[in-house]
Amino acid sequence: MIAVIDYGVGNLFSVEKALVAVGAEVEVTRDAKRLREAEKIVLPGVGAFGDCMKNLEATGLVPVLRQEIEKGKPLLGICVGLQILFEGSEESPGVEGLGILPGMVRRIEAEGLKVPHMGWNSLEIRNPRQERDLFAGLGEKPYVYFVHSYHAVPQDASVITATASYGSDLTASIAKGHVQATQFHPEKSGDVGLEILKNFMES
């Protein structure tokens, strides 16, 4: 069973529907017991960094989430679900993220281009992880769907598994251990997104 964390943010129905479409058993939950029983966890997120952290903390699931990550349970963060894995964000000064990964979330600098970065963009795959790779079987430069004004700048650049070019190279996905996350929305990225979710399910 894959547990999708319900903390009042994120397009939960779309994420659940996309996972079901690739054959996953899915439960949208804010129950700590079900989170512990799940084989994998999905942490979605849309909106502001500070609001996401406030809502997540209000569920009381932060300690459980940390424990499950420390145990090595696979986790997939999506959009702001990627951003809150880091220490903080320029979007919400003074708000601490989960700090699972060292680094900060910075506003996109894209001179002459509109921010937010919204729409389809190709990925530049970096540091593929082979059998646990979200992008297995997708070929070069898969197209995915983004909606964001901020992106993660990890302290350790080796955790970046894909970038997207928009004025500069933006962090599009990260991976460290059993934690993986995408800045783009796989649930809105058509067949490519479904393949990414299937790779996560089968990893």
Instruction: Return d(Cα 29, Cα 140) in angstroms, integer.
Output: 35
Q: Could you give the angle at which helices 62-70 and 49-59 cross, rounded to 10 degrees?
A: 90
* Residue tagged active-site, from 68, 79, 91, 195: 79
Quick one: CA dihedral 127, 17, 51, 63, positive or negative?
negative
* Residue tagged active-site, from 16, 91, 187, 195: 187
Catalytic residue status for 148 = no
| Angle at the Cα of 198 from the Cα atoms of 193 and 31, rounded to 5 degrees | 100
Alpha helices in 49-177 (DSSP H): 49-59, 62-70, 80-83
Catalytic residue status for 185 = yes
Q: Could you give the angle at which helices 12-21 and 190-202 cross, rounded to 10 degrees?
A: 70
What one-character-per-residue DSSP string does 8-32 give? Answer: S-S-HHHHHHHHHHTT--EEEE--H
* Residue tagged active-site, from 68, 178, 185, 195: 185
Catalytic annotation, residues: 79, 185, 187
